[in-house]
Structure 1
Amino acid sequence: MSKVLILGGKGRIGRSVAQDLVSHTDAEIIITGRTAKNELLQHNLDKSIKLLMLDLDDLEELRKTIKGCDLVVHCAGPFHYRDGRVLKICIEEGVNYIDVSDHRSFFQKVIQYREEAQKAGITAILNTGVFPGISNSMVREGVEQLDQADTIHLSYTVAGSGGAGITVMRTTFLGLREAFDAWIDGKWQKVLPYTKRETVEFPKPYGKTGVYWFDVPETYTFAESFKVKNVITKFGSIPDFYNHLTWITAHVFPTAWIESHAGIEFFSKVSYNMTAVTDKFTGIGVAMRAEIRGEKQGKAATYYSTMVHENTAFSAGCGTGSVAQFLLEGKLNQPGIYPVEQVLTTDLFKAAMENRGIEIQKKLVYN
């Protein structure tokens, strides 16, 4: 029986990954948290899941825990603060690795270990989940449908908290700190987060809502994965007034407020408390829209794909769980370090989504 260790497994994303693995594999699942309090029953998780208290700063205990596992799933964010120690230990111990990292800074920290991972024969897959994760595979499928892709425009919106806990709030506010590099007109150009609002039509029940430039790993990795001229990644919230509040936070409040740890915690807790109220009306779902522009059969064409699900955290569990499943089954044996879109084939992605009941709508339009 395979043994899977989920770091940060007591969080909402980690629990969703654990439940997906229980449903789709026969692996032994161990989840970790910073406390020994057993919260599995109150969250209706499978009784076969084991709970372990672990502090990621205790390197000796971390190494002992990783040793002997077949796969480590890193769900302990925010990844802005992570330094790659977990992946490095996995390489040294010969253990496959995946994560739900959601910021380019983490990708840039760990990609330096790519050659070491190849030599060790381990497969490490980054940016799994829903966005990044499922979104990346939607884009890969779209690019493959065209003879030549020119522009990737990827938009996301989340209703309320998304059911994903306060860590996601922290990630959002951490993403407002500074300008980032975006791939525009075939070169890297500075873009300010939460600028250039667009109104995007998402599937029902969300419809039209605003989205803004946001720094996600895809903004960076797509430029390498797909030879395109433009990569646009935009994010928004439902209800729309959250977008305006976030814009004010990014552009009106003093910069020091969102550059300090105390400021990030304050905004995250206030926002999370607000969504505790609005979640009752908006739900906790996610919607994504990928628009790939280019050419097919000598004509200008655009490929659209959309996905909507009522629970963001559950969707993230499906995205990460499916990658873990395929790794355990030996279907993703590709030593090295990769963002998910470089290693997960479209055929495997489609099979995973079908098995988990996640429907993705697609259409090709000639312009």
Structure 2
Amino acid sequence: MKILCVGGAGQIGREAVKDIVKYSNFKKISIGDFSIEAAEKLAYEINDDRVDVVGIDVSNPEVASKIMKNYDVVFGSLPIKYDELFVKAVIDAGVNGLDITGMGTTYFNYDEEARKKGIVFVPGVGMTPGTTNVLTRYVCEQMDEVDDICISHGAFRAIAYSPGLASTTFLEYDPDLPGRVVYENGKYVQVPPFSREKLIELPEPFGVHPQYIIPHPEGYTIPRFIKKNIKRIEVRGTWPPKNMRLVRALYEYGFLKNRKVKIKGVEIGSRDFIAAYLEQMPEGKENKLWGYSLHIDITGRRGNSKVHHVVTTKHPTEGDPEWEGPKAYTRSVGIPLSIGAQLIGAGKVNEKGVLAPEAAFKPIEFIRELKKRGIEIQEKVYIEHLVE
């Protein structure tokens, strides 16, 4: 089996590549990247005979697709703006694939074509979306009916740690973004940025933080693939308090609408300018506490009982060299992408087409792989027996 890791030399992609080298049975592992120099540097660092380097640019999907045809599995760890180009190249190549962002609903436009070609494509296999979807299925499978699903996460990283990350951060709070919705009783309710604040307690060292509705795809895919008469789905998130204060101020002053302004005769979007500034300045790379934690809170019924099931995730922190500093964030996101690729490569995903993570992966298998890497799943279950 051969795998092509597109964007594999990036901050998150490299962690997925390293995990694949350590845990997988792939015979050939190609680091595919626009930057040959960065890919070769990573390959030299890994020093494994199975690893080689391939130059690839998905902005030219026809050429990228021809390269992909030589592989059994292709993963993408790319900025959001490349999502559709990447999935199109993978589907055209007729190979199995997955990516890390999963934002938007256009992926499913390729479902029929993927089925005809007998391949699977899984969008959004990171922590969120990705692990959140799988853990939600894990809980829902233990209930007969589901009332409320509250998915929350804390992504503790610098605001512009890698290219495109600041833009992604600001996009989630763009007031004109149509995908910021809550699923309620079969309908989607559009909400503005910083809506439905809720205090979420994450495992230490992260603690309690206010979280707000964000435009993530779980609210769209979970009702599609989990049939449990779900009444409501809310997806929230937060970043370090310093990041949140900046985003809130930019939102209140209208920067996140990305309206064009002229600076010495040069026209630029207000959001684009702030993102570029942060990506080029040291302040954009600074952060005290790094890591990632999920919090999934689901209520429903099982038999004659009301069930309240809370799942959180926790990873090693300072003191473990593999999880120190920024690695605590990048490994958290890269590991699920690696696990998904390995499960696809091992033939563990039987259905074809475009599948969300909750449809593609069996929760127990996915959770088992997370635990191998030190990502713990913590659970609390509260049961109220109903008297008829």
Letter in 2 for 1:357: G
Q: For 1:247-326, what aligned pairs fall within 5 Å after superposition?
A: 247-254=248-255, 256-257=257-258, 262-271=269-278, 273-277=282-286, 279=287, 281-282=288-289, 284-309=290-315, 310=317, 311-326=328-343
1:162 and 1:287, CA in 2 relative to 1: closer, same or farther beyond 3 A? farther
CA contact (8 A) 2:66 2:93 kept: no
- Matched letter for residue 315 of structure 1: S
Cα gap change, 1:52/1:207 in structure 2, threshold over 3 Å: closer, same or farther?
same
Name 1:6's counterpart in structure 2: 5
Distance 1:258 1:196 in 2: 26
Partner of 1:20: 19
Residue 146 of structure 1: aligned partner? 143
State the number of aligned residues.
Answer: 357
TM-score normalised by the chain length of structure 2: 0.85
Q: Which runs of 5+ in 1 are unaligned?
A: none
In structure 2, what is the Cα distance between the partners aligned to 1:134 and 1:22? 21
Q: What is the CA-CA distance between 1:241 and the residue it aligns to?
A: 3.3
Q: 2 CA distance for matches of 1:87 and 1:339? A: 13
* Residue identity matched to 1:228: I
Q: Which residue does 2:115 correspond to in 1?
A: 118
- Structure 2, unmatched stretches of 5+, are 262-267, 318-327
Q: Which amino acid aligns with 2:23?
A: H
> More deviation in 339-348 or 240-249?
240-249
Match of 2:238 in 1: 236
Query: 1:154-195 deviations in whole A, cap 9, x for unaligned?
Result: 111122328962433221111222243321233111111332
Greater mean deviation of Cα atoms: 141-150 or 261-270: 261-270
Identity %: 24
When residues 256 and 333 of structure 1 are mapped into structure 2, their CA distance, relative to the original with a 3 A threshold, is same
Q: Which amino acid aligns with 1:264?
A: R
Partner of 2:201: 201
CA–CA separation in structure 2 for the residues paired with 1:285 and 1:43: 25
For 1:263 and 1:135, locate their aligned partners in 2 and report how far apart those are by CA, in whole Å: 32
Kept in 2, the 8 Å contact 1:166–1:268? The answer is: no
Query: In the TM superposition, what is the alpha-carbon distance from 1:47 to its structure 2 partner?
Result: 2.3
Among 64, 67, 82, the residue aligned to 1:65: 67
Counterpart selection for 1:75 from 53, 77, 83: 77
Partner of 2:323: none
TM-score by length of 1: 0.89
| Greater share of residues in helix | 1
Deviations 1:235-255 (A, max 9, x none): 1112x2322221222233245
Which of 345-354 and 201-210 deviates more?
345-354
2:353 aligned with 1:351: no
Measured in 2, the distance between the counterparts of 1:44 and 1:212 equals 42
CA gap 1:75/1:144 in 2 versus in 1, 3 angstroms: same
Aligned residue type for 1:244 = R
Give distance in 2, aligned partners of 1:194 and 1:50: 45
Match of 1:137 in 2: 134
